[in-house]
Amino acid sequence: MTEVSAASRRWTLVATILGSSLSFIDGTVVSVALPALQSDLRATITDVQWIIEAYALFLGALILVGGSLGDQFGRKRMFVAGVVVFTGASIACGLAGSTRVLIQARAIQGIGAAFLVPGSLAIISATFDGPARGRAIGTWSGFSAITTAAGPIAGGWLIEHVSWRMVFFINVPIAAIVLWLSRRYMHESRDASRRSRIDAAGATLAVLGLGAVVDALLEWPRVGATASIVTTLVVGIVLLCGFVIVEQRVAEPMVPLGLFESRTFSLANLLRLLLYGALAVVFWLVPLDLIQIQHYTPTAAGAAFLPFPILMFVLSRWSGGLVSRIGSRLPLTAGPLITAAGLALYAWPGIGGSYWTTFLPAVAVLGLGMAVVVAPLTTTVMTCVGADHSGVASGVNNAVSRVAGLLAVALLGIVLVRAFEARVNPALDRLTLPDAARASLDRELPRLAGAVVDSIAPASRDAVRAAIDESFVHAFRVVMIAAALVACAAAAAGAFMPSAAASRA
């Protein structure tokens, strides 16, 4: 390992913390911004989903490629490139005048993050060694938790007092600091043993396959199961099958399928897929409910999530030692069940009521459940494979988390829209609105709770607003119960886990 001065190590750590925080903050702040940008850009619920999905698609599909490129061509080089691409796309997001432009910019953000996220930890591992490496990673993790907690609150304040566009522009000064520190203090590193070609075929099939599946699922509620939708879905599935075939045959695959021969590794990643899919629904829908239905300010909506990262931060050290003391099966079963209870609690509140008796119990139980499971899950994955595969195992772990959210938002979005339509249409029919008013309202309903009812006569406006709000709460409850069932399925995967953390199939 090249000798690096203490100052270079210290400021390199700062650069990686700030760099990775760009992605961490973006993942939470954008959710709080969704109601404001939906109103400003007159976006439908499908548009809102695509704003989330475009970023998750490219990040989830390319994050392993980003890590491999860093190993081969220089981690600093790829990290800096990721920061530049991410920041340029953030500026484009802030300037977007339409949902189409915003979605395209979000996709480019995802590409930048795919280089940025894996590079941060790889650079820390290459810069520090021995006990210092563990302390550096711990510091990185701690500050990541802090930025995750502070991001929605700070972002909510900016949305409330300036504009939703500021949640993207705030990335610019942070990125400028990262780039300056990287150029001044960061040393280049690479893995000299990595000489093979990048798995371009695998990456292409992953992006196209996931993109086709998600596109079909997001458009399904709007147009129904038409021939084009079914064809797109089938094409996506075929492309993903092609991805599996390619990964079996290339010399150095993006996802080494041999890792899944381990029963522990397979079950752990199935658990992660289900659990993180259920969790993604919370960060997508809860801000919409809090701001559009409960009339929280964006700042208050961001603060409503604060117990979650606090519990994760406070309990992570304790939960990290559970596997060595009691094995993996119990925490990987109990944690998802507690998480499922938290998700089910989100289905309890109606319209109105104090945060302390409505949403706080849900987020607190959710945070407790995730705190119990996250560290043991990561430990289990990293100890069930050999040390020479630890890097790629970590990458697969990260990619599964991203793909989980991508698929869950698409699939449960269908449930949300169908449940909303099943409740709102009969409610509006009972109001016997004039044909012109009903036609105008039908054009607004694809926005769900964001529907504007100003065109409705004042005498009927309150009743229409109530019908829409109550229908959204109904659909919200249905989705949260569905997400809780998904978390219970994750618990079932944990229950079949071999009790010894290091066991191999």
pLDDT score of 502: 42
pLDDT score of 504: 43
Q: Say if residue 390 is in the same domain as residue 480.
A: yes
Count the Cβ atoms, other than its own, within 10 Å of residue 234: 13
Q: Is the pLDDT of residue 155 over 80?
A: yes
Cut 0.85: pTM above it: yes
Q: Show the domain range for 462.
A: 256-505
How large a percentage of the chain has pLDDT more than 90?
Answer: 58
Q: Say if residue 220 is in the same domain as residue 292.
A: no
Q: Say if residue 376 is in the same domain as residue 449.
A: yes
CB 24 within 8 Å of CB 120: no
Least confident of 210-214, 224-228, 464-468: 224-228
Q: Say if residue 181 is in the same domain as residue 322.
A: no
DSSP 257-325: GGGGGSHHHHHHHHHHHHHHHHHHHHHHHHHHIIIIIS---HHHHHHTTTHHHHHHHHHHHHHHTHHHH
User: Which residue has better confidence, 3 or 68?
Assistant: 68
| Among candidate residues 143, 163, 191, the one where a domain is terminated | 191
- With CA atoms as reference, report the closest residue to 285 among 353, 170, 362, 371: 362
Q: Say if residue 260 is in the same domain as residue 245.
A: no
Q: Say if residue 91 is in the same domain as residue 114.
A: yes
pLDDT score of 195: 55
Q: Say if residue 345 is in the same domain as residue 470.
A: yes
Domain total of the chain: 3
- Length of the chain equals 505
Give the tens place of pLDDT for each residue, 249-258.
887 788 888 8
Q: Say if residue 235 is in the same domain as residue 327.
A: no
Mean pLDDT score of the chain? 88
Give the tens place of pLDDT for each residue, 185-206.
998 887 655 555 678 888 899 9
Q: Say if residue 284 is in the same domain as residue 431.
A: yes
Q: Say if residue 235 is in the same domain as residue 335.
A: no
| Among candidate residues 191, 214, 237, the one where a domain is terminated | 191
pLDDT band of 501, cuts 50, 70, 90:
very low
pLDDT score of 176: 96
Looking up residue 299, the CATH number of its domain turns out to be 1.20.1250.20
| Among candidate residues 172, 191, 210, the one where a domain is terminated | 191
Q: What does R_g of the chain's alpha carbons equal in angstroms?
A: 23
**Displacement of CA 169 from its chain's centroid (Å):** 20
Q: Say if residue 374 is in the same domain as residue 415.
A: yes
Count the Cβ atoms, other than its own, within 10 Å of residue 193: 8
pLDDT score of 111: 93
Q: Say if residue 173 is in the same domain as residue 261.
A: no
